[in-house]
Structure 1
Amino acid sequence: MGSAWAKTPGAVSAVPVATQQVVAPKGAVVASGHQLATNAGIQMLRMGGNAFDAAVAVSSTLSVVEPISSGIGGGGFFLLHDARTGKDVFLDARETSPESATPEQFLDAQGNLDINKSQNGPWSAGIPGLPAALVHLAERHGRLPLNVSLAPAIHIARQGFPLYARMVKGYEERKDVMDRFPASKALMWQDGDAPEVGELFKQPDLARTLERLAAGGYDGFYKGETAQLLLKAVADEGGRWTPQELGSYAVKFREPLRFSYRNWSVTTAPPPSSGGIAMQEILQTIDGGWNLNAMSRVEQVHLLTEAMRRAYRDRTIYLGDPDFVKVPMARLQSKEYAAGLRATIHPQKATPSDLLIGQPAPLEDDETTHFSIIDSEGNRVAATQTVNLLYGSGMVAPGTGVLLNDEMDDFALKPGTPNAFGVMGFEANAPKPGKRMLSSMSPTFIESPTDVVALGAPGGSRIITEVLLGIIGYDQGLSSQQVAALPRFHHQWLPDTIYAEHNTFSPQEIADLEKMGHKVTVQKTWGNLQTVRYRKTDGTVDGGTDPRNPVGSVQTLRRAVIKVAR
């Protein structure tokens, strides 16, 4: 079966803004990876909260019900639009490297990368950033007190929720690691044996940790009792965090990336995300030379693949934490550079990746989560959060219920040595105290004269191409749900293959791509795209949730009648 977006005729027609009547949103919409998290966001909106209060509720609830993907022991990126001021803000709550985590600490006695240390347990964990983001959202952008917006997550952590298949399967894959840590095993073996689908999963320690966060704000996590428990847990397992680096964690405020594609303005994630730069390169490379809507399916895939190949090569060589590395942003964002890339693309032949010099960089796993929100005032949030591998480091800090991330593996811990995903990195992404590891997370807004959209996805290195295909899908006139359901393909430069979901290409399309010199690798489905849209022409709102995820949900709400003063 071919991709839906490739078969949708025509693009969204351009309507001059000056001649178009803009209608305010007639309601709100929330899309997330779990029904309970979507419900929590809707609950805040019913209480008179705005999109940012809903984001605190959704994010914290996902931290409870999707520990396989994210949690307050991890981090994330939040793209925010304030309708009152018209400003966009990119909130960087990525984890940071502890001072102790020098590259030498991750080598074994023979000087090889110690995979166990980089992926499991305390040494694999960066300083968490998500709690600081929740506090900032509530205090600076929300209307409701933090203890109100955290209440759904606290309630669910204490009362429990039914285990679902992805959580159980993820534990089976990480069992050998998680069972090493007593608090992790106790959490998963609540009834005395391994977890099963449908069992009630309670997290009383996490409920108490969230209560301290609700009562004390920033200090309720990064200082005081929770901080002491985290520091002790890391030390007891042989790691080293200091009270100073935990207590001084701060979110970063970065200018979002902005560019245009056809009729759309795109606002997206800047470094230390690689997503925005890569999407801009790909779309500018295509937009300056070809109209995808006028091409055959195979021609579209070929050209997008070639643009992906070049953007991922540049991701590897140039990108890292901009507070530590000089990223050549002006060059990578320029249309002239895109034109140079375009000139190297043969319209009928694949370019072997080994002709593009460089080496691949570390990419995070696909166990991440995303949610999107638009409220009735036009505020919007696109947020992606993660703990990296399945269940992060596998280590729960005793007494906290906090599952620590394993984001240190996203650094280039030893140049030229593959990380968990068989890829390597350079000095630009080497760990240093306080440095943030490179990410693919790409929360994004797109806006045309007629539509406002928030979208994003998990998927590791494939996040970028998931969101990219979503943008193209909206441009080709698909509904929000059709965009969330799009069949996917991906090329990341190395290995030199087009990865495709099993329902993306027909046998004839694969044969045609192979004649061009492409290799096609068919795999199981991936990703979990969540998107919401507001139509400026009539004020209607809608959303799409990825059908690959049976517990995901999208829910709309008519205008809230309760208002809470700022």
Structure 2
Amino acid sequence: MTCQTLRRFSVTLISISLCIVGGASTPTGARAVQGDRAERGMVVSAHPLASEAGVEILSQGGNAIDAAVATALAISVVEPFSAGIGGGGFLLLREGDTGEIRALDFRERAPLAATSDMYVDENGDPIERASLDGHRAVAVPGTIAGLARVHETYGELPWSTVVAPAIRLAQDGFTVSDRLASRVRSREEVLLSNPAARAIFSRDGAPYREGDRLVQADLGRTLRSIARDPQNFYTGDIARAIASDMAANGGLISREDLQAYEPIWRSPVCGDWRSVRICSMPPPSSGGVHLLQILHIIGDLDARSLGWHHPDVLHLLVEAMRVAYADRAEYLGDPDFVEVPVARLIDPRYASWRRSQIEGDRVRRSDRVEAVDPQTLRRLTSESTDTTHLTVVDDRRTVVSMTFTINGNFGAGVVAAGTGIVLNNEMDDFAIAPGVPNLYGLVGDEANAIAPRKTPLSSMTPAIVTENGEFRMAAGSPGGSTIITTVLQILFNVLVYDMDAESAVAAPRLHHQWLPDRLWVERWGFDAMTLQELERRGHQIEELPGWGNANAIVLTEEGMLEGAADPRGEGAARGFSGLY
């Protein structure tokens, strides 16, 4: 999209320019968008070293799955605060030869010893940070099982080959960035209180600083064991080390928990919207359900003619978000434990009814917006849903869009002794008590209550878009509760406003999640008059520095792959043109 075109879209109250550095705006103080273009392949992730690991695998003849596995394992080394082999996630895959889209759930699961009231006291009140810090906050990790399963099914290079770049980064080390150093400082107290974490992320109690070299010898040994056999994580030496560390520190994960873990192939949530077909993750992620639900509520609104960030468009987006997150709190959970009415929630007839309740000139306060009751939902749809994301596309247009996590910054703040594995605090993604918000302010009810071997609800929204059966774009983001709306706005920017990948990823964002009843906007990106108009309509606006660390790959009209990493992070897009 040209600068001239964007200015034409911005006639209503928009004063920022999307015509800097590669055609994209960037948050104040942020770096330039890290984009690239190539014909044969593209890898985009949250760290340049991880993206380079993926391209290295493509150059050795690997496909998108091989490259995605290598990139994910490299992220586990160079971005230990956001995701890793001590966590889990979701992978969306499009097979280039057949066009089939599949979804793999390798999310963490509650241990067998977990109970519904494990994080509340005798009065039923939440115990402060019990679900966030320490060994009892850890759910059974699924990352290695998921990566091994998808590679076994679709990979072309040997497993040991795709693990090799991560081993090298762990053994040889890498330069600590300001981003990593600041994340260590922000969790310094809990990290230094755990001897294994202290030994890795500090020098005699002094946290690593930008420019230092971080070597993770224990993690290197763990990855070499995984390279020999990924099942070592669940039944071998790594499993024994994790279970022993748990037993010594009051954690709940046992060897039986690890041995029983299996990733699950699920049917993706897909829906047609305008000229494209959008697919994303089904429950136990809420991402796909609510991405489609919000888009259907928007319907055929001619946002392009109104203009980019027109108040009418933003108002409808926000009110649709409010509805979706209210439904999320009521209905979404692990489909192996509760019935989730996916088809009804994404039905355009339901969206049309919800849209009719939205007033164009004023908000409906969240205390007046409730989840639809089951009887109405059936009636309307009867016959008469610190993380990281990576996106990879190869020359056959096989696509991997994968979001995975250890949940909060450095997860539970503990490392399994002798393994170098930072463990997740994913138990906080359950509803630890009805109506009690989690780390990201999201509330839930019985559908997301804790139960043994149950998967906590997620907002992860890896997305793949096709048009006329051909690949069009893929995107995803970290960000807790803001993931769904971040991916929504990137898709909207490309599909409605014809933005290129860099502009779509860099553009300013807003977010509403029903509760708390606040409209979050990035403080650098919205015109003051636009915000005043939204406030006039009743939106309670809170300006924030920014959020998310998204990336996307878009297929251009010329058949080129256009990749972009978020200027809010330190990631990079790396194209593959056959030479390396």
TM-score normalised to structure 2 length? 0.89
Aligned to 2:481: 461
Aligned to 1:286: 298
Alignment partner for residue 408 of structure 2, among 375, 386, 389?
A: 389
- Give 1:64-79 correspondences, 5 Å limit: 64-79=77-92
Whole-angstrom CA distance in 1 between matches of 2:261 and 2:48: 31
Aligned to 1:93: 106
- The answer to whether structure 1 residue 517 and structure 2 residue 538 are counterparts is yes
Q: Give ranges in structure 2 of 5+ residues lacking alignment.
A: 11-37, 373-385
* 8 Å CA contact 1:115, 1:419 repeated in 2: no
- Give 1:140-539 correspondences, 5 Å limit: 140-190=153-203, 193-217=206-230, 219-288=231-300, 290-296=301-307, 297-357=310-370, 367-449=386-468, 452-475=472-495, 476-535=497-556, 537-539=557-559
Aligned to 1:362: none
Whole-angstrom CA distance in 1 between matches of 2:407 and 2:181: 17
- What is the RMSD of the two structures over their aligned residues, measured on CA atoms? 2.0
Whole-angstrom CA distance in 2 between matches of 1:31 and 1:180: 35
The alpha-carbon deviation at position 63 of structure 1 amounts to 0.6
Whole-angstrom CA distance in 1 between matches of 2:553 and 2:8: 20
Alignment partner for residue 561 of structure 2, among 516, 533, 541?
A: 541
- The amino acid across from 1:285 in the alignment is I
- Residues 243-252 or 290-299, more deviating: 290-299
- Give 1:119-158 correspondences, 5 Å limit: 119-158=132-171
Q: Secondary structure of the equivalent of 1:104?
A: coil
Q: Which runs of 4+ in 1 moved over 4 A?
A: 3-10
- The amino acid across from 2:487 in the alignment is V
Kindly tell me: are residues 368 and 39 of structure 1, through their superposed partners in 2, closer, same or farther at Cα, counting changes over 3 Å? same
Measured against aligned partners, the alpha-carbon deviations of 1:80-117 in whole angstroms (never above 9, x if no partner) come to 11112321110111000001111232223554212332
- The amino acid across from 2:293 in the alignment is E
Measured against aligned partners, the alpha-carbon deviations of 1:534-565 in whole angstroms (never above 9, x if no partner) come to 23x5331111111111x21001111479xxxx
The alpha-carbon deviation at position 421 of structure 1 amounts to 3.6
Kindly tell me: are residues 258 and 6 of structure 1, through their superposed partners in 2, closer, same or farther at Cα, counting changes over 3 Å? farther
Aligned to 2:382: none
The alpha-carbon deviation at position 191 of structure 1 amounts to 6.0
Whole-angstrom CA distance in 2 between matches of 1:390 and 1:214: 27
Whole-angstrom CA distance in 2 between matches of 1:421 and 1:539: 39
Whole-angstrom CA distance in 2 between matches of 1:228 and 1:4: 61
The alpha-carbon deviation at position 299 of structure 1 amounts to 0.8
Whole-angstrom CA distance in 1 between matches of 2:57 and 2:162: 7
Whole-angstrom CA distance in 2 between matches of 1:77 and 1:4: 39
Q: Give ranges in structure 1 of 5+ residues lacking alignment.
A: 11-24, 360-366, 562-566
- Residues 176-185 or 105-114, more deviating: 105-114
- The amino acid across from 2:181 in the alignment is V
- The amino acid across from 1:512 in the alignment is E
- Give 1:56-71 correspondences, 5 Å limit: 56-71=69-84
Whole-angstrom CA distance in 2 between matches of 1:448 and 1:9: 24
Q: Secondary structure of the equivalent of 1:115?
A: coil
Kindly tell me: are residues 438 and 8 of structure 1, through their superposed partners in 2, closer, same or farther at Cα, counting changes over 3 Å? farther
- The answer to whether structure 1 residue 105 and structure 2 residue 118 are counterparts is yes
- The amino acid across from 2:70 in the alignment is A
Whole-angstrom CA distance in 2 between matches of 1:64 and 1:75: 15
- The amino acid across from 2:317 in the alignment is L
Whole-angstrom CA distance in 1 between matches of 2:463 and 2:199: 38
Measured against aligned partners, the alpha-carbon deviations of 1:47-105 in whole angstroms (never above 9, x if no partner) come to 00000000110000001111110010000111011112321110111000001111232
Q: Secondary structure of the equivalent of 1:116?
A: coil
Whole-angstrom CA distance in 2 between matches of 1:167 and 1:109: 39
Aligned to 2:23: none
- Residues 161-170 or 382-391, more deviating: 161-170
Whole-angstrom CA distance in 1 between matches of 2:175 and 2:148: 28
Measured against aligned partners, the alpha-carbon deviations of 1:121-148 in whole angstroms (never above 9, x if no partner) come to 1110100000001111221111011110
* 8 Å CA contact 2:119, 2:126 repeated in 1: yes
* 8 Å CA contact 2:110, 2:453 repeated in 1: yes
The alpha-carbon deviation at position 352 of structure 1 amounts to 1.0
Q: Secondary structure of the equivalent of 2:315?
A: helix
- The amino acid across from 1:97 in the alignment is A
* 8 Å CA contact 1:382, 1:455 repeated in 2: yes
Kindly tell me: are residues 509 and 176 of structure 1, through their superposed partners in 2, closer, same or farther at Cα, counting changes over 3 Å? same
TM-score normalised to structure 1 length? 0.91
Measured against aligned partners, the alpha-carbon deviations of 1:502-555 in whole angstroms (never above 9, x if no partner) come to 1221111111111111111100111111111223x5331111111111x21001
Kindly tell me: are residues 314 and 110 of structure 1, through their superposed partners in 2, closer, same or farther at Cα, counting changes over 3 Å? closer
Matched pairs, number: 534
Query: What percentage of residue pairs aligned between the two structures are identical?
Result: 38
Whole-angstrom CA distance in 2 between matches of 1:38 and 1:79: 18
- Residues 151-160 or 116-125, more deviating: 116-125
Whole-angstrom CA distance in 2 between matches of 1:109 and 1:176: 28
The alpha-carbon deviation at position 269 of structure 1 amounts to 1.1
Whole-angstrom CA distance in 2 between matches of 1:426 and 1:398: 35
The alpha-carbon deviation at position 195 of structure 1 amounts to 1.3
Kindly tell me: are residues 172 and 192 of structure 1, through their superposed partners in 2, closer, same or farther at Cα, counting changes over 3 Å? closer
* 8 Å CA contact 1:52, 1:381 repeated in 2: yes
- The amino acid across from 1:221 in the alignment is F
Aligned to 2:375: none
The alpha-carbon deviation at position 308 of structure 1 amounts to 0.8
